[in-house]
Amino acid sequence: MASRLTLLLSALEDLRSKELKKFRLYLSEGALEGFARMPRGKLPEDSDATDIASQMTEMYGSEDSLKIALHILRDIKHNELAARLEGELERTRTHAQGLSSQQDVSPSDKRNEYENTIKKVSEQNKRRLRRKFEKMFEGTEERENRRYLNEIYTELYIIEGESEGVNTRHEVRHAEIQSRKEEANESMIKYNDIFHCSPGHRNIRTVITQGVAGVGKTVSVQKFILDWAEGKANQDIDFIFVFPFRELNLVIHDEYTLLRLLLDFHPELRDVVDEKLYYESKIVFIFDGLDESKLPLNFLENKNFSDVRETTSVDMLITNLVRENLLPSAYIWITSRPAAASQIPPEHVDRWTEIKGFNNQQKKEYFKNKIQNPTEADQVVTQIKRSRTLYVMCHIPIFCWILASVLQKVLSQDGDRKVPQTLTEIFIHFLLIQLNRRNQKYDRIERDQKKLWESNKDVILKFSELAFKQLDKGNILFTEEDLIDCGIDFNEDLEKSGICTEFFTEEVLMQKKKVFCFIHLSFQEFLAAVFVLYSFVSMNMKTLLHHHIHGKKLHHILRSAVDKSLQCHNGHLDLFLRFLLGLSLESNQKLFQGLLMHTDSSSNSVSITVRYIKEIISSGRYSAERCMNLLLCLLEMKDNSLEREILQFVTSGEMLSPDQCSVLAYMLLMSENKQDEFDLGKYKTTKEGRKRLIVAVGAYRTARLVCCDLTTASCEPITSVLQAENSPLRELDLGGNCLKDEGVQLLSDGLTHTNCKLEALRLAGCGLTNTSCKTVASVLRLQHSHLRELDLSNNSLNNAGLEELTTALLHSNYKLEKLGLAYCDLTSSSCGILSSVLESANSRLRDLDLNNNDLWDHGIKVLSSAMSHPNCKLETLRLSGCLVSGQGCESLASALWSNPSHLTELDLSYNHPGDSGVKALSRLLQDKECKLEKLNVDYNEKRWLKAGLRKYACKLTLDPNTAHALLSLSEECKKVVRSREKHSYPDHPERFEEFAQVLCTEGLTGRCYWEADLAGIVSIGMAYKSISQKGDDSQLGFNDNSWSKKCYPFRKHASSSSLLLSYERVAVYLDWTAGMLSFYAINGFDLKHERTLYSEFTEPLYPGFELLYHDLLDASVFLR
């Protein structure tokens, strides 16, 4: 056996340099009471493990050195090493004491005996857990009719993600929101891989899995255990110990050693006589249902201890297991509802996961497994899809079960039965099913619905009172005493009602005390709402008054409940409120005939309550989360008027707040009245408001997000939509937003996803470079890509970008038919690259836009050669402003004579074909074999044969009749300066009165370019003549009649935080026909693109300026 010095040295050598440094510090400060501290002089900075072991042995002796080392190792949280050292030391002692008696037993025999013990106890552990978890029942199904878990289990959608703090949102609302965040940049993991880590990553010891009630946390745990017990997965695990928190609550006041607690919950461990088994085996502790825990879990104040034989509270045992003080090599899995997960400090958690329930495909699989008849299963799925609210709720497995039960029953009945569409209607029908089930069990058949309610009225009201009282206290578990308090007879009511499920195990532990809960949290909230409405109808208001719900009229009760819900910031009463408002409908009260008396004022009270809720939503006093639930309340009351009113509000041009945008986005997503196109630009709001509205893209086929100040970060929610299952999005226009290459890279995560069905993508003027071409090419090469149209116009891609794109355009999987490359800085060399695409046998290109690239006649000649090739199928070619002369036109004409069967449209405007070029091309229009139908040779002038945008330069003068009184014009109306004092200008109807603005005299159409020197803070833009001159609506860029960009004179100094004044020259380019307005900064002779705005222009545009005040520099503009 190893000597004590060897053991000490081995332990110290396992410490990394930082840990060894910390060990030296503890040693020099006096690590253990009763022992002198090690003088610092004996432990220099360069002391290694050998030096420290030598000094310790010299000062303390070998035995005490090991005691001190064990203490320090635990203090520095190196518990696993401490446990190993302690085990080695114990074996050394045992060996020394019993060496003579063990001389006849070989080490291999001892090891074999030990391993056999582990194997034997492990098999017993597996057998017991397999018996316990191989079958399950849903809701109130009879225990004797339980089904095998393997037969009915449907894979759940589990994702990995960091904790984002406490989630206080109501769980059903949480599920609804999660259902619209499907698969967005999320890493999906399987339940059996919960402890598996990627190569090179740190070991995963503690995992928290959160999810809303009924989403499948416990079932996932059971399937994990069953697969292990049946030898299907995780066979490296020796033991799994399961501790439901609801069972631990029953021993909350008792004290245990860890060994005794294990034995009480897992009696198969009685054969374990050596505690070393727990240190040397691979063990998984599963703590299920943290949200049900009554333990304080006081991580802050609970002391540290590591002895499995020490008696203490259950709370101390669990906190020290999580801290890695007890059994540091064991693995821990904790499940919890979202709001309770924060009880475990994040520093003790290695992996956060969330069960999001069923995705759309898994929903179908569930109903297929649940409903044996395929036709019936398809009918149920079809009915659920008709209601967006119900379909979203099916992310929660238990809702699937409830809906399957209800819809199977409704669809099987004779006659034209109306299928329930709201949650309230679903739950009323579900309660009827449970009551019928009770009757059938006791051989009673009651076909009269009213009599069925009457015969069960007493038991329903008892459980409703229980539900309401416990809900108001925030309790989801209740005791037999709670039942007695509401007059519920344990043996009679609970056994026969089918409303409540008793949760208990067959272990001795659970016979101490029984715990109860409703089938699902939502059912408790439904019955609580029933109790409130019944109390009002029967005029028994005592209990309601005690819980701060009061009023003489129904709308008083409803209003009181709305106010109470709004005060509950964690959404605790959200679903209760939805049910209560749903029950206020006359149609739902009719379904309850025999239980509830009809309220005469119901219809009027509903109208009053609807108005009250709409006033709250419109007031802006409450958060978006609160307002969204109120919106769902309106839908539960079958009132869709708010949708119409909000849309009218939008069309009125009023400014929407960010919270209003959140509500609007949610409304658009949940609306059953879907439109084909979502145009973000029509909503007047802030950048934050637009950010919140983006999620609504997921409900539309076409999304126009043009010029909406979106950035790289805006691409994340769009990516999630592209990845979502069954996303309707087919066309996406992001033109005029500064997304940059990083934004396109983010989008590619969605574009490459197998769920993405996008057919048209427009990224014109998004600040992209050739890097984005490589990203887009990787998308186009995918076999499952559906892209048919791609617009990359007005981005500086140049020839290098086109080369990257060509790698995809020549690929056999390429399906692109329409490609926009206008204003992309292409040269004549690019025509050779494009020729290879047009001549390719894989080419499907039908529409090619090369407008405003400097291709010259040489490039056109190369392009013409490709167009004469039989594989070329181009139908539309745009070459406007491409420096084409008569020679280039003749090359094109020759190509079309050679291959006349495809091209129908050719744009050569803003070139110089000359008479000869026009004549050669015009003859093609007369030829019957040639398909050319549309030829544009407008603006046929020699001046267009000049590279760059400056060929479109125009002369401008400022219009004195529009100048604000604070503006001073000079230099023949070429210069304007903002003055400190107002001028006495004559009255004129076109003069700006509110803002210091001026327009130019010239109205522009076609293609125009102009430059100006700016100083100070200036907004530069264009406006229709019809722009208002008065009021807030007259500011450039802040109305439907103008477009602008603000320019600042400040630049940060490179070596300090001070701001320096700077003068700059800017350029503006207008392509009126294309609806494009671009702004550039000028550096020397080069143009640097700043921003492009897109719109459909309907009137001539007048250049304009707003000169803003600054105390350091008077703003000025000089037209070049």
901 and 973 fall within a common domain = no
Label the pairing between strands 283-288 and 239-244. parallel
Residue ending a domain, among 61, 78, 96, is 96
Residue 1011 corresponds to which tokens in the numbers above? 């430059």
916 and 1057 fall within a common domain = no
439 and 465 fall within a common domain = yes
| Tokens 């004179």 sit on residue | 1049
At 547, the pLDDT band (50, 70, 90 cuts) reads low
pLDDT at 481 over 80: yes
Domain membership of residue 141 (yes or no) is no
Nearest Cα residue to 527 out of 454, 583, 597: 583
pLDDT at 185 over 70: no
1005 and 935 fall within a common domain = no
Task: Tell me how far apart the 2 most distant CA atoms of the chain are, in Å.
Answer: 121
In terms of C-beta density within 10 A (0-12 exposed, 13-18 middle, 19 or more buried), how is residue 549 classed?
buried
Domain membership of residue 656 (yes or no) is no
Residues 6+ apart with CB under 8 A from 1095: 707, 1043, 1075, 1077
Domain membership of residue 931 (yes or no) is yes
Contact status, residue 1102 vs residue 999, Cβ threshold 8 Å? yes
Say how far apart CA 769 and CA 778 lie, in whole Å: 15
Domain membership of residue 249 (yes or no) is yes
Say how far apart CA 581 and CA 765 lie, in whole Å: 49
Label the pairing between strands 255-256 and 760-762. unpaired
In terms of C-beta density within 10 A (0-12 exposed, 13-18 middle, 19 or more buried), how is residue 622 classed?
middle
DSSP letter assigned to residue 816: -
Other CB atoms closer than 10 Å to residue 1045's CB: what's the count?
Answer: 18
DSSP letter assigned to residue 553: S
Domain membership of residue 790 (yes or no) is yes
923 and 960 fall within a common domain = no
At 145, the pLDDT band (50, 70, 90 cuts) reads low
What pLDDT score was predicted for residue 691? 85
Q: What is the pLDDT of residues 550-564, one digit of tens each?
A: 677 888 889 988 988
962 and 855 fall within a common domain = no
In single-letter form, the type of residue at position 753 comes to H
pLDDT at 181 over 50: no
What pLDDT score was predicted for residue 502? 39
351 and 448 fall within a common domain = no
Per-residue CA distances from 948 to 29, 670, 882 (Å): 75, 49, 10
Residue 622 corresponds to which tokens in the numbers above? 């409450």
255 and 294 fall within a common domain = yes
pLDDT at 489 over 70: yes
Domain membership of residue 892 (yes or no) is yes
**Residue 151: φ, ψ to 5°:** -80, -35
Residue 730 corresponds to which tokens in the numbers above? 């087919």
Q: pTM of the full predicted structure?
A: 0.67
Average pLDDT, the chain: 82
Best-predicted range by mean pLDDT among 48-62, 327-341, 393-407? Answer: 327-341
Sheet arrangement for strand 1018-1023: 997-999, 1102-1107, 1018-1023, 1042-1047
Domain membership of residue 388 (yes or no) is no
Contact status, residue 812 vs residue 840, Cβ threshold 8 Å? no
Say how far apart CA 212 and CA 961 lie, in whole Å: 66
858 and 908 fall within a common domain = yes
974 and 897 fall within a common domain = no
DSSP letter assigned to residue 404: H
Say how far apart CA 464 and CA 194 lie, in whole Å: 39
256 and 351 fall within a common domain = yes
Residue 383 corresponds to which tokens in the numbers above? 């009915």
Best-predicted range by mean pLDDT among 38-47, 264-273, 301-310? Answer: 301-310
Residue ending a domain, among 586, 616, 646, is 616
Sheet arrangement for strand 500-503: 478-479, 515-518, 500-503
What pLDDT score was predicted for residue 288? 94
167: domain CATH number? Answer: 3.40.50.300
Say how far apart CA 1034 and CA 289 lie, in whole Å: 60
Domain membership of residue 373 (yes or no) is no
The percentage of residues in the chain with a pLDDT greater than 70, rounded to a whole number, is 85
Q: For residues 199 and 1108, which has the higher predicted lDDT (pLDDT)?
A: 1108
What domain range is 48 assigned to? 4-96
At 163, the pLDDT band (50, 70, 90 cuts) reads very low
Say how far apart CA 725 and CA 766 lie, in whole Å: 27
How far apart are the two ends of the chain, measured CA to CA in Å? Answer: 94
What pLDDT score was predicted for residue 546? 63
Say how far apart CA 1001 and CA 735 lie, in whole Å: 30
232 and 257 fall within a common domain = yes
Q: Name the domain count of the chain.
A: 5
Residues 6+ apart with CB under 8 A from 252: 294, 295, 314, 315
At 503, the pLDDT band (50, 70, 90 cuts) reads very low
Say how far apart CA 772 and CA 596 lie, in whole Å: 65
Say how far apart CA 721 and CA 757 lie, in whole Å: 11
Residue 609 corresponds to which tokens in the numbers above? 């309550």
